[in-house]
Amino acid sequence: MSDQTIVVLDFGGQYNHLIARRIRELGVRSVLLPHDTTLAKIRKEYDVAGIILSGSYSSVRKPDFLSMDEKILFSGIPVLGICYGMQLIAKLMGGQVIPAAKSEYGKQSVSIKNSESLLFRGVGQKTEVFMSHKDVVDALPKDFVIDASASDSMVAAIEHVTLPIYGVQFHPEVTHTIEGMRMLDNFISLVCRASKTWKMDAFAEEKANEIQNTVKDEKVLLGLSGGVDSAVTAMLVHKAIGSNLTCVFVDHGLLRKNESDEVMHSLSGKFGLNIIRVDASDRFLEKLHGVTDPETKRKIIGNEFIKVFEETANKLGDLAFLAQGTLYTDKVESGTGASATIKSHHNVGGLPDHMNLRLLEPLDTLFKDEVRKLGLTLGLPESLVNRQPFPGPGLAIRIIGEITKDRLNLVKESDAILREEIFANGLDKETWQYFTLLPGVHTVGVMGDERTYGELIVIRAVSSVDGMTADWAKLPYDVLDKISIRIVNEVSGITRVAYDITSKPPGTIEWE
């Protein structure tokens, strides 16, 4: 119990690990625990400075609603309830929660009513927040006051007059809540008075020790894609167990143009990693032949990955673990058991039920930006650490419909042009992710005074911090114009280019 800790109780919402991530970003250690973790267990295992109750898919109006150890509310430990967490506080302490007149999803303005509240110290009298709920607090429990309300008089924030208990109906952890980080900082600094001593190198040491204790003297196989996640995982596992790690780079034929060679050039031999390259491109394309359903694609790719790993493991012999660069965003979108499935990730939902190797996923509590920081802490070069995200299933999920070599080529060539122009115009650092995709739409065109009938290519570019939420990138028109002209002129078979201007939510970054 070296560092003071903010405990986040997990009630199954989509943004729960994001809360823990925000607390770490503010310099305080945080852990995510099951919602029914007892006060006694929390006090025994952590130097707890505060407790946050997360959002949830559930409703406190249901007979089997997810609850908590009520002793926490009277323990004197500062408590912050977020969305469902606020409704739970209200219910358990004698208030009333009712269905909202209409479900709230998105940005909304709220007014701060209690200028003395520590939670809203320095926050504007009116501020924009992100709502996502179906229930509202209708009657406050005894000894609670309203800190903030929405334009429709909905209760947006509450606090107890004597106990350090606060609740907000919105999500301060989401970037769309403009002053959310100030509110969270106020909670940990002014309410909890927590020491800001946590740093990423502490996480690296904790995880390396955890890996050592788990693996002991056994050997680990790691699937290396060349992306940030798998590279950082490799470095972290290598830090923990050294030569007992073997990395396997599976070339499934679904990478971007020239990427296979770039991966080997950038990582092989440079950091003391033992890397084996396996060319399985024909095998993956054969398995995906005629497949159009996106979930089936992901599961086929996940299964083939594991089969290749296990075949390699059988040749190498004496391997016990499979290490993967699974992030928290992968797990929450694939469904955590409490949260709903958005889409299966090949390294989560696509794994076979019976697998000979045990899984090792040391990054599964982190978000993309935290992984980048960890990579720098472990000594990886900035050029590798700041590579834009690339999905494990590769271009298979950027081709809607059947995957063929010709259609793969259309995406590879158009994507290469997009990346060249983004880099040439200095937009690569400010644009979080950018790629092209093939939606399977054919359109009429005119080239050389003749009618053409080719495929549509869609450009997707977004700005984000962690991938949980994203805004479409406002790329300059002249850059988009040049990209469009080049793609149509240089990639045979493309007759039209479109730009996706959907944010996340309601969309996802990838189309499948």
CA distance linking residue 249 with residue 392, whole number of Å: 12
Cβ neighbours of residue 370 closer than 8 Å, sequence gap 6 or more: 21, 24, 200, 466
Reduced to 3 states (helix: H, G, I; strand: E, B; else coil), residue 69 is: coil
- CB count in 10 Å sphere of residue 24: 23
> Is 362 within 8 Å of 321 (Cβ atoms)?
no
Give the tens place of pLDDT for each residue, 181-227: 999 999 999 999 999 988 888 889 989 999 999 999 999 999 887 78
Domain ranges for the chain, please list them: 4-191, 200-385, 404-499
Give the tens place of pLDDT for each residue, 497-512: 999 999 998 899 999 8
Q: What is the DSSP string of 263-291?
A: HHHHHTTTSS--EEEEE-HHHHHHHHTT-
Asked if domains 4-191 and 200-385 share a fold, the reply is: yes
How would you classify the pairing of strands 47-53 and 96-112?
unpaired
Distances (CA, A) of 367 to 17, 91, 225, 362: 9, 32, 18, 12
Q: Provide the token pair at 110.
A: 């709220």
Looking at domain 4-191, its CATH superfamily turns out to be: Class I glutamine amidotransferase (GATase) domain (3.40.50.880)
Strand ranges, E, within 75-204: 79-82, 96-112, 126-139, 144-150, 155-160, 165-168
Query: What pLDDT is stored for residue 235 in this prediction?
Result: 92
Checking if the pLDDT of 347 tops 70, the result is no
Query: What pLDDT is stored for residue 344 in this prediction?
Result: 41
Give the tens place of pLDDT for each residue, 448-499: 667 788 899 999 999 987 777 899 999 999 999 999 999 999 999 999 999 9
> Is 96 within 8 Å of 86 (Cβ atoms)?
no
Cβ neighbours of residue 82 closer than 8 Å, sequence gap 6 or more: 19, 52, 53, 54, 55, 167, 168, 170, 171, 172, 173
Tell me which H or E stretch contains 81: strand 79-82
Query: What pLDDT is stored for residue 79 in this prediction?
Result: 98
Amino acid, single-letter form, for residue 292:
T
Handedness of CA 157, 163, 164, 165 (dihedral sign): negative
- pLDDT confidence of 345, banded at 50, 70, 90? very low
Q: Which of 459, 416, 458 is nearest to 439 (CA)?
A: 458
Query: What pLDDT is stored for residue 505 in this prediction?
Result: 87
Reduced to 3 states (helix: H, G, I; strand: E, B; else coil), residue 121 is: coil
- CB count in 10 Å sphere of residue 450: 7
Amino acid, single-letter form, for residue 503:
S
Query: What pLDDT is stored for residue 332 in this prediction?
Result: 55
Amino acid, single-letter form, for residue 471:
D
Active site positions, annotated: 83, 171, 173
Cβ neighbours of residue 71 closer than 8 Å, sequence gap 6 or more: 38, 39
- CB count in 10 Å sphere of residue 121: 15
- pLDDT confidence of 64, banded at 50, 70, 90? very high
Fold (CATH) for 404-499: GMP Synthetase; Chain A, domain 3 (3.30.300)
CA atoms within a 13 Å half-sphere pointing along the CA-CB vector of 227: 22
Checking if the pLDDT of 354 tops 60, the result is no
> Is 455 within 8 Å of 497 (Cβ atoms)?
no
Reduced to 3 states (helix: H, G, I; strand: E, B; else coil), residue 420 is: helix
CA distance linking residue 53 with residue 39, whole number of Å: 13
CA distance linking residue 501 with residue 462, whole number of Å: 9
Residues comprising the chain, all counted: 512
Q: Provide the token pair at 383.
A: 């050029």
What's the mean pLDDT when you consider all of the chain?
Answer: 88
Reduced to 3 states (helix: H, G, I; strand: E, B; else coil), residue 262 is: helix
Rounded average pLDDT over 121-136: 89
Checking if the pLDDT of 335 tops 70, the result is no
Prediction pTM value: 0.62
Which CATH code is given to the segment(s) 200-385?
A: 3.40.50.620
Amino acid, single-letter form, for residue 124:
G
